[in-house]
Amino acid sequence: MANQTDSHGAAEAAGMPQLEFSTFPNQIFWLAVALVIIYMILSRIALPRVASVLAERRGVITGDIAAAEDLRRKAEDAEAAYNRALADARAEAARIVAEAKAEIQADLDAAMETADAEIAAKVAESEKAIAGIRASAFGNVETIARSVAAEIVEAMDATSDERVIRDAVSARMGGLGG
Amino acid sequence: MASEAQAEGTGLVFHPMDQFIVKPLFGDGPIHWYTPTNVTLWMFLAIVVITLTLVVGTRGRAVVPSRSQSVAELAYGFVYRMVEDVAGKDGLRYFPYIMTLFMFIVCSNFLGLLPMSFTTTSHIAVTGVMAAAVFLGVTVLGFALHGVSFLKLFWIGAAPLALRPVLAVIEIISYFVRPVSHSIRLAGNMMAGHAVIKVFATFAAVAVISPLSILAITAIYALETLVSFIQAYVFAILTCVYLRDALHPHH
**pLDDT per residue over B218-232, tens digit each?**
999 999 999 999 999
User: Which of chain B's residues have a Cβ under 8 Å away from the Cβ of A47?
Assistant: 54, 76, 95-96, 99
Q: B-chain residues within 8 Å CB-CB of A64?
A: none
Name the minimum distance, in Å, from the CA of B54 to any CA of chain A.
6
* Residues of chain A neighbouring B65 (CB-CB closer than 8 A): 53
Cα B14 from chain centre: 26
pLDDT, tens only, B78-117:
999 999 999 999 999 999 999 999 999 999 999 999 998 9
Which chain B residues are closer than 8 Å to A18 by Cβ?
20, 122-125, 187, 191
**Could you give the CA distance from residue A130 to residue A127 in angstroms, rounded to a whole number?**
5
CB B245 within 8 A of CB B153: yes
Residue B240 and residue B98 in contact, taking contact as beta carbons nearer than 8 Å: yes
Across all residues in chain B, what is the average pLDDT? Answer: 90
pLDDT one-digit tens code per residue, A24-50: 999 999 999 999 999 999 999 999 999
Among the listed residues B57, B76, B145, B108, the one whose alpha carbon sits nearest the alpha carbon of residue A51: B76
Sort out which chain B residues have CB atoms less than 8 A from A17's CB and list them: 3, 17-18, 20-22, 123
**What is the C-alpha separation between A60 and B76, in angstroms, rounded?**
19
Closest Cβ opposite residue A39 in set B5, B55, B96: B96
Residue-wise pLDDT tens digits, B12-26: 788 888 889 898 998
CA gap B251, B234 in Å, rounded: 22
B63–A contact, CB cutoff 8 A: yes
Q: HSE of A7 in the Cβ direction (CA atoms, 13 Å)? A: 8
The contacts of residue A141 (CB under 8 Å, 6+ apart) are A173, A176, A177
* A155: alpha, beta or left? (left if phi > 0; alpha if psi -120 to 50): alpha
Residue B150: its H or E element: none
| CA proximity to B137, closest of B247, B3, B250 | B247
Question: Measuring CA to CA, how many Å separate B183 from each of A16, B124, B232?
Answer: 16, 7, 11
Which band of pLDDT confidence, cut at 50, 70 and 90, is reported for residue A177? Answer: very low
Q: Which A residues in the span 39-68 are in contact with B, Cβ-Cβ below 8 Å?
A: 39, 41-43, 45-47, 49-54, 56-57, 60
Q: Is B37 helix (H, G, I), strand (E, B) or coil?
A: strand
Phi and psi, residue B238, nearest 5°: -65, -40
Binning pLDDT at 50, 70 and 90, where does residue B7 land? low
pLDDT in tens, B117-142: 999 999 999 999 999 999 999 999 99
A38–chain B Cβ distance below 8 A for any pair: yes
The letter for the amino acid at B118 is F
Distance, CA of A81 to CA of B139 (rounded, Å): 68
Taking 50 as the threshold, does the pLDDT of residue A9 lie above it? no
Q: What is the DSSP letter of B58?
A: T
Dist. CA B166–CA B162, nearest whole Å? 8
Q: Do A27 and B95 touch (CB under 8 A)?
A: no
* Distance in angstroms (rounded) separating the CA atoms of residues B53 and A46: 9
Q: What is the CA radius of gyration of chain A?
A: 65
The dihedrals phi and psi of B37, each to the nearest 5 degrees, come to -120, -175
What's the mean pLDDT when you consider all of chain A?
A: 86
Nearest chain B Cα to A22, which residue? B31
In angstroms, the first-to-last Cα distance of chain A is 164
H-run or E-run covering A87: helix A47-155
What is each CA distance from B122 to A18, A121, B99, in whole angstroms?
Answer: 8, 126, 20
* Beta carbons of B110 and B228 less than 8 angstroms apart: yes
Res. A68: pLDDT tops 70: yes
Phi (first) and psi of residue B13, to 5 degrees:
-120, 120
Contacts of B63 (CB under 8 A, 6+ apart): A53, A56, A57, A60
Q: What's the rounded Cα separation, in Å, for the pair A7 and A13?
A: 12
* Contact residues, chain A, for B123 at CB < 8 Å: 17-18, 27
What is the tens place of the pLDDT at every residue in A97-153? 999 999 999 999 999 999 999 999 999 999 999 999 988 888 888 888 888 888 888
Range in A38-42, A75-79, B4-8, B182-186 with the lowest mean pLDDT: B4-8
Cα(B203)–Cα(B215) distance, integer angstroms: 11
Asked if B232 reaches chain A (Cβ–Cβ under 8 Å), the answer is: no
Amino acid occupying residue A33? V
